[in-house]
Structure 1
Amino acid sequence: MESTRAHTGQASRARQPGILTRIVRETDPPTDTMQRITAPLRTNADEAYNIRVGEVLDLAGNIGALLMASGMPATATMDQVTAIAAAYGIERCEVDVISTTIHVAAYRGPSVPAASTLHVVQSRSIDFSRLAAVDRLIARIRAGDVSSSDARNELDAIVTAPHPYKRWIATLAWGALAFATAGTLGATWLACLVSALSAMTIDRVNRRLNRHGLPFFFQYVVGGAIATAPPLLLYWFGPKMGLYFEPTVAIAAGLVVLLAGLSLVGSVGDVITGAPVTAAGRFFELVMMTGATIAGVAVVLHLANRYGAPWIDISASAPPALAEFPARVAFGAASAAAYALACYAERSAAVAAAFGGAAGTIAFLVAQGAGLGVVVASFIAAVPIGLVGRLMERRNLAPPLVVSIAGIVPLLPGLALLHGVYAILNEQSAIGFAAVLGAFAVGTALAAGVTLGEWSSWKVRRRRLRARRGSRGTRLARRGALSSAD
């Protein structure tokens, strides 16, 4: 009996190191494995492959540069470029994207130089019709319906194609955007009309300045001055004509028009998805252009106060009342659709943007009616905008980026930004900087909510596709079993 117990104790002590090893030691493979150096995939003798690699990488890089110039996040651009290269059979394609350049390289083995290409992201005005055409071309490439040479010809045609409608229609769309934005903020009909005229003037003046090569920073300074001067003059000289005009909302609507085209969604999306360099570049551009707009507003306000203009009482926006629900939703949808048209969107894309703006406005009003703060309400409002964007993409109505950018336009914090600038100019630094930081917090919440909405829609769609494939496989297996039984 004692020998049996001793033998059992020895066996237990012998098993203890093995048990401890199984508890401590990791058995799963590492999550980020280094790529192994393999044999050359191709040789220099395969000239046809080398020619095709250069053509495909040049096509993928050009498409990626166009997507980045349109405001797409860096990680989404990398995925699209990699998918294009894989669709044409290019193995081991590596893509590096920053805010100004795209580098694409195809690994061909340790003894063969990598095929690579570098593309510069040119700054250009956003054209949603061009973005939609490129999105359809990418879908055809990934489906294998077009060759690389034909795709290159189609891309050249897309890039050199004229806008779908004349410039004056886009100018009217900018005016409609300012009109609807002022209506969303609760302005009178006169204030809405003044905002629309100021926005159209900004568009025509900046277009002329852009032809002369004036940097965008100074164009935003001019835009901020134009957005401020007409409402302020009407407020100053209106009582002499028996007209009493409140300029605050009109100026704020002009600021929203200027800030609407900035890459807010792309910069925050880059931070969330792991592209900090590109995010830093885009966010710094956002800060600089916002600062230029504020400088234009500050110059006009300073000159007006110096020459005896009456005091303007600019306060932060109060929570909207639910009694104004239908009108504000209608103005929100109109703002998103007008911004899409101002950026040359197709009719289906403008309709999709209107749905996104309406969904975001409804969610924002409901959240504020429930007593939530502006930042939290903005985040909640942006989530359905991202969901609507992905839904419209599935229906082939518009790229999700169109709905994301246009949908948040009615929610941009133009009035809070104006309140902060005016407080800083009147030596109320603590209140002013708090309001400006609050405006940036609202903008960040909007972009984060859009990113979360797009991600949630993508996850739900992937689960549904898996379920459909599983049910289809089960049906095929049952049919096979029945046929074999027969």
Structure 2
Amino acid sequence: MNDLTGAIPLDHAAYTRAVLDLTMRLAEVIFTAGAGAEDATAAMEALTRAYGLKGTEANITHTIITLTQEDQATHESITRSRNVKYRTLDYTKLTLTSELIAELIEHPVDIAEARKRLAIIVSSKPQVTVRFRRLGWSLVGAGAAVLIGGGPVVMMAAFIATYLIDLITTTLDHRQVPLFYQTVVGGAMGPLAAAIVHIIDPTVNPSIVVVATIIMLLAGVTTFGAVHDTLSGFYLTGTARMVEAVLITGGLVTGVAGATLFVSRFGLDLTVQSRWVPTLLDLPLLLAASVVIVIGFSLAVQVPWRAWWVVCLLGALAEFLYLIGDLAGLGLVWASGMSAIGVGLAASVAARIVRTPPLVIMVTALVPLVPGLILFRGLLQLSNGDINGLLNLLTAAAVALALAAGAILAQYVVQYVWGPARRLQRRFVGPLMALPVRLGRGSTKRI
């Protein structure tokens, strides 16, 4: 044991509070930046052990982080808690903090020094400015339009519409407007943009613009984190995240449905035409569109620069595996799950090469497979009184779950066979996704 943890200060209570406070601050940063409850909990317990505290219990809900340490000699306990005040995807901050956590677990430094290093990460300038992050969301919309068969006019309309959506929703967020109403406004922008496209060029299918905006709005939804927390046994946090995802989707559906009804009064029919069935001949276009989506999402959520080439390759891989599965007749859900498993396995290797948590790579690479078209088709069918719309909505939910569950399964298999999942405490039943882990039968130091 190093000098820092070998001689605990005489004021044990003060030292304990300082360690608990540092640990919770680190866990809060990765949790709010996109990590799951399991990763944050595992990090807290590993950090407190590294700093010489035994008998520590960590607990996370959707809005509160709690850490308790019981003195084994006196059986007196000290409990600290922090409220999670905000939550936004920031993969650069997540990566830097995860690296700091891994370093502190292996080589604990003075608490004041560790807090200083964390403060530098938290207060540092974003990797890209707000303007470039907004441009990223626009690229997601434009790439999504091409991915589902849109032409140049539709692609340009989707680019502009998604730019305005991010601008408006960000303004509403700064004014502390509830998230539901933000997504209602964002969802309503799609049909309005489609109406303008129809006026400019009546020969194109304007509904593709709506689908592109839906994909852009769904890209940041917490479905992945909800599934991860639920499969890992953190049912309360997983349920809360799932409710948040349902709330966002509900606001999106409300906005799209209301705006669609409004434009229909002026004679614009946004009914989705027969589904464009891509073939292998369309593969180059589909791969290019997928890479554009991945690049846009990487800008929006600030994926570390060193991981960009990896997420672009895996984004193309995800689309390729999905297309192969779809053409083989596996169906939307199984094709999505197969693609997610393939990406998850590749992410295990890629994460070590670019020193980036697997979570960052997998979520970014799977964005092109967000089921926006299925969701929109189901919404239109329900608005017309067609019960098949409910089946499409359920299919969209199943695709989203398949993407998350498939990627998590791949990580679990890799870490169980070669890595730390075999040695985790009993309460952890899933893989670590947001912490640097060493694969190998003898490596347990980093968890």
Say whether residues 1:321 and 2:304 are aligned partners: no
3-state DSSP class of the match of 1:465? coil
Equivalent position of 1:246 in the other structure: 205
- Residue 466 of structure 1 aligns to a residue whose secondary structure is coil
In the alignment, what sits opposite 1:33? none
The CA distance in 2 between the partners of 1:327 and 1:275, in whole Å, is 40
Q: Describe the shift of the 1:133–1:427 C-alpha distance in structure 2 as closer, same or farther (beyond 3 A).
A: same
Q: Partner of 2:107: helix, strand, or coil?
A: coil
- Kindly report which structure 2 residues correspond to 1:283-322, keeping only aligned pairs within 5 A, or say none: 283-306=242-265, 308-315=266-273, 317-322=275-280
In terms of mean alpha carbon deviation, does 394-403 or 76-85 score higher? 394-403
Contact 1:333 1:358 in 2 (8 A): yes
Partners of 1:316 and 1:416 within 8 A in 2: no
Matches within 5 A, 1:468-479: none
CA contact 1:364–1:380 (8 Å) conserved in 2: yes
Deviations 1:229-258 (A, max 9, x none): 1112322x236xxx5221122211110110
Three-state SS of the structure 1 residue aligned to 2:441 is helix
- Relative to structure 2, which stretch is displaced further, 334-343 or 261-270? 334-343
Task: Give CA deviations for 1:326-383 in whole Å, capped at 9, x if unaligned.
Answer: 2212221221222011112221133332233122112111111211110001101111
Task: Mark the CA change 1:316 to 1:445 in structure 2 (over 3 Å): closer, same or farther.
Answer: farther
Q: Which residue of 1 aligns with 2:20?
A: 57
Instruction: Say whether the 8 Å CA contact 1:270–1:276 is kept in structure 2.
Output: yes
The aligned runs of 1:397-476 (5 Å cut-off) are 397-428=355-386, 430-462=387-419, 465-466=440-441
Q: Which runs of 5+ in 2 are unaligned?
A: 1-7, 423-438
Q: Are the equivalent residues in 1 in contact too, given 2:149–2:276 (CA < 8 A)?
A: no
Matched AA of 2:36: P
Provide closer, same or farther for how the CA distance between residues 144 and 295 of structure 1 changes in structure 2, counting only shifts above 3 A: same
Q: Deviations over 1:213-236 (max 9, x none)?
A: 21111111111011221112322x
- C-alpha displacement at 1:318, in angstroms? 4.9
Instruction: Report if the CA contact (8 A) 2:57-2:69 is conserved.
Output: yes
State the Cα distance separating 1:403 from its structure 2 match: 1.3
Shift of 1:60: 1.1
Q: Choose 392-401 or 256-265, whichever is displaced more.
A: 392-401
Counterpart contact for 1:209–1:219, Cα < 8 Å? yes
1:337 aligned residue: 295
Q: Which residue of 2 aligns with 1:372?
A: 330
Asked if the contact 2:195/2:268 (under 8 Å) is kept, the reply is: no
- Indicate conservation of the 8 Å contact 1:379/1:446, yes or no: yes
In the alignment, residue 227 of structure 2 is paired with which amino acid?
V
The structural deviation recorded for 1:184 is 1.5
C-alpha change, 1:74 and 1:468, in structure 2 (3 Å) is: closer
Shift of 1:303: 1.0
Aligned to 2:4: none
Letter in 1 for 2:341: V
* Pair 226,452 (structure 1): closer, same or farther in 2 beyond 3 Å: same
**1:174-253 equivalences in 2 (<5 Å):** 174-235=137-198, 237-238=199-200, 243-253=202-212
Alignment of 1:353-392 (within 5 A): 353-392=311-350
CA distance in 1, matches of 2:410, 2:274: 28
2:323 match: secondary structure: helix
Task: Indicate the larger mover: 396-405 or 97-106.
Answer: 396-405
| Structure 1 stretch displaced more, 88-97 or 123-132 | 123-132
1:71 pairs with 2:34: yes
Q: Does residue 394 in structure 1 map to residue 352 in structure 2?
A: yes
How many pairs align? Answer: 419
2:80 to 117, 133, 141: 117
Which residue does the alignment assign to 2:428? none
1 or 2 for the larger relative contact order (CA 8 Å, sep ≥6)? Answer: 2
Query: Equivalent of 2:224, from 255, 262, 265?
Result: 265
Task: Compute the RMSD of aligned alpha carbons.
Answer: 2.0
Rg bigger for which structure? 1
Q: 1:252 to 1:359 in 2, by over 3 A?
A: same
Contact 2:23–2:48 (8 Å) recurs in 1: yes
Q: Deviations over 1:451-486 (max 9, x none)?
A: 1121122234329622899xxxxxxxxxxxxxxxxx
> Runs in 1 of length 4+ with deviation above 6 angstroms?
none
Q: Secondary structure at the match of 1:282?
A: helix
Once residues 297 and 169 of structure 2 are traced to their aligned partners in structure 1, the CA distance between those partners, rounded to angstroms, is: 17
1:117 match: secondary structure: strand
TM-score by length of 2: 0.89
Q: Secondary structure at the match of 1:437?
A: helix
* Percent identity over paired residues: 26
CA deviation map 1:405-437 (0-9, x unaligned): 212210010000000111111121x11111111
The whole-number CA distance in structure 2 between the counterparts of 1:58 and 1:298 is 46
2:70 corresponds in structure 1 to 107
Q: How far is 1:261 from its partner?
A: 0.5
| Structure-to-structure mapping, 1:92-171, within 5 angstroms | 92-109=55-72, 111-144=74-107, 146-171=109-134
- AA paired with 2:270? I
CA contact (8 A) 1:65 1:121 kept: yes
Question: Is the contact made by 2:341 and 2:407 (CA closer than 8 Å) also made in structure 1?
Answer: yes
Unaligned residue ranges in structure 1 (runs of 5+): 1-44, 470-486
Q: 1:168 and 1:80, CA in 2 relative to 1: closer, same or farther beyond 3 A?
A: same
- C-alpha distance 249-347 of structure 1, shift in aligned 2 (>3 A): same
Contact 1:56-1:148 within 8 A present in 2 as well: yes
CA shift in 2, pair 1:385/1:103, >3 Å? same
The 1-side partners of 2:346 and 2:98 are apart by 17
1:393 shift after superposition:
2.5
- Mapped partners of 2:294, 2:48: distance in 1: 34
